């Protein structure tokens, strides 16, 4: 059995978020699945508004809805300069047989995904 790497876990999270964005009618302009490269998705909606989507995979029981607020301020500035809105999608992943176990290729896994959060674009 092969445990998923950090990059593979990130890709798994991105697949879930990508399907969600698609179902909400977003059109993809760019996709970047490399770890530590932001944003993961650049999208436009039906009004031609631009969105930068941050996807973050965490191992459960860590809370996928938490993000680095200081880093996010810097990123919001970047988005603001590009006239884009920021969306955040945290995805919690885990092994159903125990939280200290890795997730294995082609095995069942737990997922905690509360949807896409709109980040307030007011710069602090």
Domain 6-118 in CATH 3.40.50.720? The answer is no
Contact in structure between 79 and 122 (CB atoms under 8 Å)? no
pTM, two decimal places: 0.92
| Confidence check: pLDDT of 118 > 70 | yes
Confidence of residue 1 (pLDDT cuts 50, 70, 90): confident
Helix boundaries (H) for the chain:
6-23, 69-81
Q: According to the model, what pLDDT value does residue 73 have?
A: 94
Per-residue pLDDT reduced to its tens digit, 18-56? 999 999 999 999 999 999 899 999 999 999 999 999 999
């Amino acid at each position: 059995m092969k445990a998923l790497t950090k990059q593979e876990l990130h890709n798994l999270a991105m697949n879930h978020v990508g399907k969600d964005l698609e179902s909400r009618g977003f059109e993809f302009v760019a996709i970047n699945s490399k770890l530590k490269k932001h944003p993961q998705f650049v999208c436009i909606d039906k009004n031609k508004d631009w969105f930068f989507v941050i996807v973050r995979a965490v191992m459960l029981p860590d809370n996928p809805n938490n993000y680095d607020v200081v880093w996010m301020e810097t990123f919001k500035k970047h988005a603001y300069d590009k006239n884009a809105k920021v969306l955040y999608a945290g995805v919690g992943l885990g092994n159903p047989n125990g939280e200290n176990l890795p997730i294995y290729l082609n095995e069942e896994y737990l997922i905690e995904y509360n949807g896409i959060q709109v980040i307030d674009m007011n710069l602090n």
